[in-house]
């Protein structure tokens, strides 16, 4: 339960128990939820446009219709995308829950609420506010009428604010559903399931206002609805936490008293980390021992474990005892790369042509081999049914200097998963001495590959065009900063020739871009020629391996097996029920 997020360090952590919205306050729907009037009107069918409901901007009415059309397929589509690492956008989660409540489908809404990483306080409040918007409109219209006939002078600002609120609520108001007593009863049952630990977490991390709003709508009872922590609701409305509680103590944490409090309470690391500079070795070891999830210790290893042999021993002992590491592959690769560089004294930057001096310190992170076993297990679990033969082309030009290790890891993993050919390019092309087949070989390739030279992406396609070798899927890992051609051809031109003369192969771009909202130079040029490559984006100057699993999810949702997975999930829903299926979609590791 504790210490699940790493959002505070900008490393992709999502917080916990509040959905992916992290600890952002659950503001009114006009502030946090796109209105349905802003949703692009497009006919969607759950049979042909399944993914669009969860990664696009479908309205509440469209979610409502899709759930009515085929509830099992709708739920199966969401579950498969989540299982494959595709992030369901927050608006989709809110509207899906609102639609289920509007339909009085409490089986579906209950299944959603089993997945607290995606349906937490923020999503519940905003979904309830959506279906309650009709009542809010009527209340504000009544208030407006009273002011309009009032003999007292009313400021134009007050009238304007009321009218604006009514307009915003009308834009949000779904065509169906209300915040009925049945819905509020359903929510009360949900909050009754929160444990002491979870409520303490909310008291420590979340603003009080969302709970106040939800309590006002659902009329919570502090004792009946929060039996695990009866002081929680009064605390949300302004009362102090009990003096002996962890919440009270943590409200008064300082660098001076952090070690004393850690001795007294198993403080979640995500709260204690703001005082990490004051940790003693004893406190680090205690944190490593009491943190429920080993993933948290690994994710914050630089803060807790480096140069602390006691922490290394605790990690190794927990692994030997059979404790599972649940980090998904992207985060696991981030940790393995960091640990390898730490153990072998490898500098964070290597320049083209620079000789690498390496010396392994076996006393540092001695558990790395155990961790690599988990990595190889994750690698074998990933299946991308892209059409073979497949080539992965990695950009090793000078412009990729910051992102080179991330890009090589992505290239190597894709090659290993897809049994693909691997080629690198700068102003020419070159093949690696061998194509990696496991995690250790991918990491070694990432360490040894250095960025340098110009950027001629066409160089990596040339050998296949020249030999007229049929390649059916070509994955380009690049920053798209093409600054020179190869054999007098730019990539888009050479691809067109290959397409016309050899085979109409599928293009996939893993693009490292400065602007995440841009397409990139090469994709733009290809689209101008009528081609539409699939694109997954990473940030060029802040390359983040934690997005690797989202990339796998995007690729798998475009693969030949997506429909097969949805069909299989529908069968599981019929056999096991909705709630069981969503409970088994293990996404907890995405929040570490």
- Structure confidence by residue, pLDDT tens digits, 241-255: 998 888 888 888 889
CA distances from 249 to 226, 264, 265, 272, 288 (A): 21, 10, 9, 12, 21
| 295 shares its domain with 437 | no
The whole-number average pLDDT for the span 8-14 is: 36
| 514 shares its domain with 391 | yes
**What angle is formed at CA 326 by the lines to CA 545 and CA 13, rounded to 5 degrees?**
45
Closest to 425 (Cα-Cα) out of 447, 465, 401, 394? 394
DSSP 8-state symbol, 325: P
527 assigned to some structural domain: yes
Confidence of residue 238 (pLDDT cuts 50, 70, 90): very high
Q: What share of the chain is helix, strand, coil (3-state, %, to 5)?
A: 55, 5, 40
| 451 shares its domain with 538 | yes
Least confident of 37-51, 426-440, 464-478, 517-531: 37-51
Tens digit of each residue's pLDDT (9 = 90 or more) over 253-265: 889 999 999 998 8
Least confident of 115-129, 155-169, 262-276, 436-450: 155-169
As given in the structure block, the two tokens for residue 515 are 């602007």
Phi/psi at 54 (5° precision): -110, -20
The reply to whether omega before 389 is within 30° of 0 (cis) is: yes
Domain limit, last residue, from 326, 353, 375: 326
- Helix, coil or strand: residue 284: helix
Phi/psi at 481 (5° precision): -90, 65
554 assigned to some structural domain: no
| 534 shares its domain with 415 | yes
The whole-number average pLDDT for the span 205-226 is: 94
349 assigned to some structural domain: no
Distance CA 58, CA 69 (A): 15
Task: Say what the pLDDT of residue 38 is.
Answer: 42
Closest to 12 (Cα-Cα) out of 549, 587, 544, 550? 544
Distance CA 497, CA 413 (A): 29
DSSP 8-state symbol, 151: S
| 397 shares its domain with 516 | yes
Distance CA 374, CA 379 (A): 9
| 279 shares its domain with 397 | no
| 417 shares its domain with 500 | yes
Question: Which structural domain range is residue 501 located in?
Answer: 387-546
421 assigned to some structural domain: yes
Domain limit, last residue, from 115, 147, 172: 172
pLDDT surpassing 80 at residue 27: no
CA distances from 375 to 183, 336, 348, 405 (A): 43, 9, 22, 17
The whole-number average pLDDT for the span 441-469 is: 94
pLDDT surpassing 60 at residue 2: no
| 542 shares its domain with 393 | yes
Domain limit, last residue, from 526, 546, 566: 546
As a whole number of angstroms, the longest Cα–Cα distance in the chain is 88
Tens digit of each residue's pLDDT (9 = 90 or more) over 140-199: 788 888 888 887 888 888 888 878 877 776 767 777 778 889 999 999 999 999 999 899
Write down the number of H helices and E strands in the chain: 30, 6
The whole-number average pLDDT for the span 506-527 is: 90
Q: Collect all residues with Cβ–Cβ distance below 8 Å to 167 and sequence separation of at least 6.
A: none
Give the distance from CA 33 to its chain's centroid. Answer: 19
Confidence of residue 133 (pLDDT cuts 50, 70, 90): confident
Average pLDDT, the chain: 85
107 assigned to some structural domain: no
Phi/psi at 476 (5° precision): -105, 115
| 314 shares its domain with 405 | no
Place of tokens 């049914």: 385
As given in the structure block, the two tokens for residue 293 are 């999830």
Closest to 411 (Cα-Cα) out of 326, 487, 430? 430
CB 19 within 8 A of CB 123: yes
- Identify the bridge partners of residue 243 per DSSP, sorted by sequence position: none
222 assigned to some structural domain: no
* Range picked from 247-251, 285-289, 386-390, 547-551 for highest mean pLDDT: 285-289
Tell me the percentage of the chain whose pLDDT exceeds 90. Answer: 54
Number of domains forming the structure of the chain: 3
DSSP 8-state symbol, 38: G
Distance CA 133, CA 447 (A): 55
HSE, CB side, 13 Å, CA atoms: give it for residue 82: 29
| 290 shares its domain with 397 | no
Confidence of residue 584 (pLDDT cuts 50, 70, 90): low
455 assigned to some structural domain: yes
Closest to 305 (Cα-Cα) out of 347, 253, 353, 269? 269
How many residues in total does the chain contain? 592
155 assigned to some structural domain: yes
CB 71 within 8 A of CB 573: no
| 282 shares its domain with 144 | no
Task: Say what the pLDDT of residue 4 is.
Answer: 31
| 305 shares its domain with 399 | no
């Amino acid at each position: 339960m504790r210490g699940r997020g790493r959002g505070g360090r900008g490393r992709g952590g999502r917080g916990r128990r509040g959905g992916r919205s992290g600890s952002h306050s659950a503001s009114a729907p006009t502030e946090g939820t796109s209105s349905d009037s802003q949703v692009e009107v497009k006919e969607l069918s759950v049979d042909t446009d399944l993914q669009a409901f969860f990664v696009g901007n479908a309205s509440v009415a469209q979610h409502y219709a899709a759930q009515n059309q085929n509830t099992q397929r709708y739920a199966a589509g969401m579950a498969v995308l989540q299982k494959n690492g595709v992030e369901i956008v927050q608006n989709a989660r809110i509207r899906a829950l609102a639609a289920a409540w509007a339909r009085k489908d409490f089986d579906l809404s209950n299944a959603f609420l089993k997945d607290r990483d995606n349906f937490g306080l923020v999503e519940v409040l905003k979904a309830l506010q959506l279906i309650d918007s009709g009542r809010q409109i009527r209340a504000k219209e009544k208030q407006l009428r009273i002011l309009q006939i009032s003999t007292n002078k009313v400021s134009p600002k007050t009238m304007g604010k009321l009218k604006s609120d009514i307009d915003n609520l009308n834009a949000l108001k779904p065509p169906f559903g209300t915040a009925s007593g049945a819905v509020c009863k359903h929510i009360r049952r949900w909050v009754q399931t929160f444990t002491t630990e979870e409520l303490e977490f909310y008291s420590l991390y979340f603003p009080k206002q969302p709970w106040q709003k939800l309590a006002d709508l659902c009329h919570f009872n502090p004792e009946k609805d929060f039996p695990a922590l009866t002081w929680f609701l009064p605390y949300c409305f302004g009362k102090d936490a009990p003096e002996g509680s962890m919440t009270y103590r943590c409200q008064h944490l300082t660098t001076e008293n952090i070690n004393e409090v850690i001795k007294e309470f198993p403080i979640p690391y995500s709260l204690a980390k703001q005082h990490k500079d004051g940790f003693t070795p004893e406190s680090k070891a205690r944190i490593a021992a009491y943190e429920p999830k080993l993933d948290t210790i690994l994710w914050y290893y630089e803060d807790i474990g480096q140069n602390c042999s006691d922490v290394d021993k605790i990690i190794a002992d927990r692994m030997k005892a059979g404790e599972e590491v649940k980090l998904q592959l992207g985060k696991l690769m981030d940790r393995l790369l960091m640990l390898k560089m730490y153990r072998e004294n490898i500098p964070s930057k290597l320049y083209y042509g620079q000789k690498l001096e390496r010396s392994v310190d076996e006393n540092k992170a001695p558990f790395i081999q155990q961790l690599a076993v988990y990595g190889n297990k994750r690698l074998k679990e990933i299946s991308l049914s892209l059409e073979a033969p497949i080539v992965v082309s990695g950009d090793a030009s000078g412009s990729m200097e910051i992102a080179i290790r991330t890009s090589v890891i992505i290239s190597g993993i894709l090659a290993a998963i897809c049994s693909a050919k691997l080629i690198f390019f700068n102003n020419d092309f070159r093949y690696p001495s061998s194509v990696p087949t496991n995690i250790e070989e991918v990491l070694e390739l990432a360490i040894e590959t250095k960025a340098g030279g110009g950027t001629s992406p066409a160089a990596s396609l040339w050998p296949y065009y020249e030999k007229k070798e049929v390649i059916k899927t070509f994955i380009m890992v690049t920053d798209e900063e093409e600054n020179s051609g190869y054999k007098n051809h730019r990539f888009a031109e050479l691809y067109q020739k290959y397409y016309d003369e050899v085979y109409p192969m599928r293009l996939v771009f893993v693009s490292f871009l400065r602007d995440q909202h841009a397409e990139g130079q090469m994709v733009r040029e290809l689209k101008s020629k009528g081609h539409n490559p699939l694109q997954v984006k990473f940030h060029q100057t802040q390359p983040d391996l934690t997005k690797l699993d989202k990339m796998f999810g995007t690729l798998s949702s475009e693969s030949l097996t997506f429909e097969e997975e949805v069909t299989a999930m529908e069968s599981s829903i019929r056999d096991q029920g909705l709630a069981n299926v969503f409970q088994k979609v293990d996404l907890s590791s995405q929040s570490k």
